[in-house]
Each structure stands twice: as C-alpha cells, then as structure tokens.
C-alpha cells in the first residue's frame, strides 16, 4: 500500500465515475484500499467500472443517477449510506460542457441542464453528504471545476458561470462545515484528453496555450485528488488547486 495515500477502510463516492477523470479517480482510490460508489447517468457503465474495482478486492456500489435531478440525488445518498453506513470522500466530478455558435443559440432547456449538472447537483449532494460527514466528525469533499471558471470563453458561458458558482460553493461549504472537521476543496482542471476531446481539432489534442504546451492525460489528475483527500492535507480547505499545465 502507498505509505502516503492509504485509504483502507474509507468509502469514496465519485460522480461521473464511469469514464474520464472520474474513472481515473475511482481506480486510484480503489487501488489504495478504498471502497467506492460509482455513479453516472448510465448504470451499465457504472456496473462495468464496479466490476473492475471488485476484481481488485474492494467493494463497489454502482448506482445510476442524473445529478441534475434533485430527487435522484437523495436516492443516491440513501443507497450509499445503506450500503456502507458512511461516505468519507465525496468527489463532485460529473459535468457537461456543450458549446454553441453564439449565446443566442442557447435554449432555456440547455441552460437549465448545464446549471443543473455542474452546480445544482453538486450543491445538493454536498449539502446532504456534508451534513452527515459533519455529524460523523469529518470528511472530505472535492469539487472538480474548470479553468473556464476563471478564464471564461464566449461559446460556453452557462458552463463557465456554473463552474464559477462551483468555485464559490467550495469556499462557502468549507466555512459551513469546517468546524466539524469537513474539508472542501476544488480541483480546477484544464484541458484533458478525456472522451470530450474526441470532438476537438487535432491541433488542440496535441497542443495547449499553457506553460507545458499540451493537454493533460486523464491519469494526471489522480495525485491531486489523492492529496486533497488524504490525512496529509488536514490543514487544506477552501483551496482551488489548478491542474491545468500552467494556463
């Protein structure tokens, strides 16, 4: 077991955990001893990842949940606590980032969906789980945001606004739950070669306007998540950790 990142006996819930950055984080925590809750919209995708985790000798709960739906989140929380009796680490990773030619092309339905998945869902999930963590004496919430929250782009304004709200939410929840030992932090992710990058131009898959000059590999988010969730970062809360190659 990794001497710095031993999560044996811990329970980690990852939204959007069936692919991309979420999948990498699910595997990373399971490889280091954690039992996991894998959730995304498609339960069959969660089942496949849960099978991988069980093959490592860890417990896994696969749960289909659209995090933009308030009532569905309550079912997810109840199922996780019924299965494990606790959640030690919550990672709000699920997100969507559609682009449109102009802002006038954004429909009300699309606007509401983007806000729901990227902000409303993480808010409700953090409120419910954070309260239980506080009652249990501690825990860790990690919100996966985007560099677009601090460097907004014109063809995805609802997404940029939702992620900026997520950043603000991190600071507010850190203050609300801090006295109970619950830490809340943000990973501000830059461009990563996840499934969404398949729609990018080839040039954008090879280069980026950053200090490192390239997009990130999905596995490169792992150590930041492990650090923020570990006992070695007990004095770190309300932090925005940029994992963006130096944009």
Q: Is 159 a catalytic residue?
A: yes
In angstroms, how far is CA 36 from the centroid of its own chain? 14
Which residues have C-beta within 8 Å of that of residue 49, sequence separation ≥ 6? 17, 18, 23, 26, 38, 60, 62
Neighbour count for residue 209 (Cβ, 10 Å): 12
Structure tokens at 199: 């729609």
**Closest Cα to residue 246, out of 199, 206, 197, 212?**
212
Cα gap 10→89, rounded to integer Å: 8
- First-last CA distance in the chain: 34
Exactly one of 23, 63, 159, 227 is catalytic; name it: 159
Cα gap 93→12, rounded to integer Å: 12
Question: So which residues are the catalytic ones?
Answer: 159
């Amino acid at each position: 077991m990794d001497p710095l990142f031993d999560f044996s006996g811990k329970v980690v819930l990852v939204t959007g955990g069936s692919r991309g950055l979420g999948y990498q984080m699910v595997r990373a925590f399971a490889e280091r001893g954690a039992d996991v809750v894998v959730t995304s919209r498609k339960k069959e995708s969660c089942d496949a990842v849960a099978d991988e985790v069980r093959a490592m000798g860890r417990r896994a709960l696969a749960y289909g949940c659209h995090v933009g739906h308030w009532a569905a989140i309550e079912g997810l929380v109840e199922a996780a606590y019924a299965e494990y009796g606790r959640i030690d680490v919550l990672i709000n990773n699920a997100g969507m980032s559609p682009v449109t030619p102009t802002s006038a092309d954004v429909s009300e339905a699309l606007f509401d969906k983007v806000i729901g998945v990227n902000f409303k869902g993480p808010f409700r999930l953090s409120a419910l789980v954070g309260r239980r963590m506080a009652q249990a004496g501690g825990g860790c919430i990690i919100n996966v945001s985007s560099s677009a929250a601090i460097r907004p782009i014109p063809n995805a304004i609802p997404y940029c606004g939702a992620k900026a709200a997520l950043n603000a939410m991190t600071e507010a929840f850190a203050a609300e739950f801090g006295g109970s030992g619950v830490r809340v932090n943000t990973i501000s992710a830059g461009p990563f070669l996840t499934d969404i990058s398949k729609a990018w131009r080839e040039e954008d898959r090879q280069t980026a306007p950053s200090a490192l000059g390239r997009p990130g590999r999905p596995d490169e988010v792992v150590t930041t998540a492990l650090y923020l969730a570990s006992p070695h970062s007990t004095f770190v809360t309300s932090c925005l950790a940029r994992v963006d190659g130096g944009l």
